[in-house]
Amino acid sequence: MADPHYTQARSAWVLARAGRRPAARRRGERLAARARQVARYDAGAGDAAVAEVTTRSRFGRLAAERDEHRGRWTVLAALVEAGRLVVAGPAIALSWAIYGTWYRQVPAWGPLRWRTLAWATGGVVVAMLMVAGVAWLGGEIPWWGWWLLAQPVVGAGRAAWLAYAYGWEAVPTATAAARPTPIRVRLGDAPALPTTTTPTEPVAAPRIRAVRVRVPAPTTEKRTTK
């Protein structure tokens, strides 16, 4: 069974462009591990005997990759993650919801396209500006109102970034070519073939070749015997 999400191709695409960025390497390594898991399940081998080793997460890199004052770095990493949730928690959840919904519908909708999501982000920006204009006419907008208006914009934009960061550019657009061509069987309703056909080009009469044959004529003279 072929992988409808092209995990192997996407992992190679991400790793080829990761460079020294640990976050990109982690995404590529996780996609590669997922591709190997899919291949094992298709072959009936089940889970791997050893765990996959990938680059540490952002929290792990900030908290554990320090030899000195590890406790302070752990607290700092926790504060950074908590700040992200406070500032853009709903937007992050919305971006993963958009990405996950399209991911599950890839066989029906086709592969994710960050350009499509970017155009959708533009539409969300226009809609939020219209809402902000109406709210501004009714009175001054509080700071938390601007925060609420920013969440859909950030969420849609981050969904477009996720589609690019997880290597969907490596997936070809025309996936229909890989699908098997349906076989059509017609029973009884096919028109009968004509008994004679009319030539589309003039046909010349065939030439008859004359053959001369010499046949000796029988003699009429009587032979005399002595």
Q: Which residue has the higher pLDDT, 10 or 214?
A: 10
Name the pLDDT band for 69 (thresholds 50, 70, 90).
Answer: confident
Given a contact cutoff of 8 angstroms between Cβ atoms, the answer to whether 116 and 173 are in contact is no
Name the pLDDT band for 177 (thresholds 50, 70, 90).
Answer: very low
Name the pLDDT band for 143 (thresholds 50, 70, 90).
Answer: confident
Name the pLDDT band for 188 (thresholds 50, 70, 90).
Answer: low
Structure tokens at 23: 């976050």
- The answer for residues whose C-beta is within 8 angstroms of residue 63's C-beta and 6 or more apart is 70, 73, 74, 76, 77, 78
Average pLDDT in the 63-75 region? 78
Q: Where are the domains of the chain?
A: 88-171
pLDDT of residue 189: 57
pTM of the model: 0.71
